Amino acid sequence: MLRIAREPIDPKSVEARAHSENCGGVVTFLGIVRARADDGRSVDGLHYEAFDEMAVAEFEAITAEARERFGNVRIAAEHRVGDLKVGDVAVVVCVAAEHRGEAFAACRYAIDELKRRAPIWKKEHYVDGGGEWKANAARVT
């Protein structure tokens, strides 16, 4: 399940929600706020907004798809909203599976689809004082 967080994320708590005694492979992805934008500009932070209910529903669909593709995987995720500074954890996706191959593949699938489909928007704040909303594929109609 996806949780939208308004406070700092503890990756270990996300891992605990995904873990099971039947799972031998656990893969965790951390998305961290970095100091440079894709175009090279210096970033001093990000602002995230989300349509919480729709984001959670979309992630539940992504989780169901991951199970169809990769077998009995357990997935937990948190995405932070609000103002974040460089070095903060913005998103955590953790996948537990019987074997590592399925855990790695399902984790990549889950984060890629979350970023592509969930109604979560990011604004970069630049050191020079400017800011820019970054495009994503999610549309709310």
Farthest CA pair distance, the chain: 50
Q: Residue 65: inside a domain, yes or no? A: yes
pLDDT tens digit string along 70-81?
999 999 999 999
Q: Which domain holds residue 26?
A: 2-126
Residue 57, domain CATH: 3.90.1170.40
Q: Provide the whole-model pTM.
A: 0.93
Tell me the residue type at 51.
F
65's CB contacts (< 8 A; 6+ apart) are 109, 113
Does residue 109 lie within any of the structural domains? yes
User: Is residue 140 situated within a structural domain?
Assistant: no
CB-based contact 132:124 (threshold 8 Å): yes
Cα 67 to Cα 55, 113, 134: the distances in Å are: 18, 14, 30
pLDDT digits (tens, 9 = 90+) for 7-46: 999 999 999 999 999 999 999 999 999 999 999 999 999 9
Helix (H) or strand (E) holding 16: helix 11-18
The number of domains in the chain is: 1
Quick check: is 136 in a domain? Answer: no
81 occurs within a structural domain: yes
Is residue 134 domain-resident? no
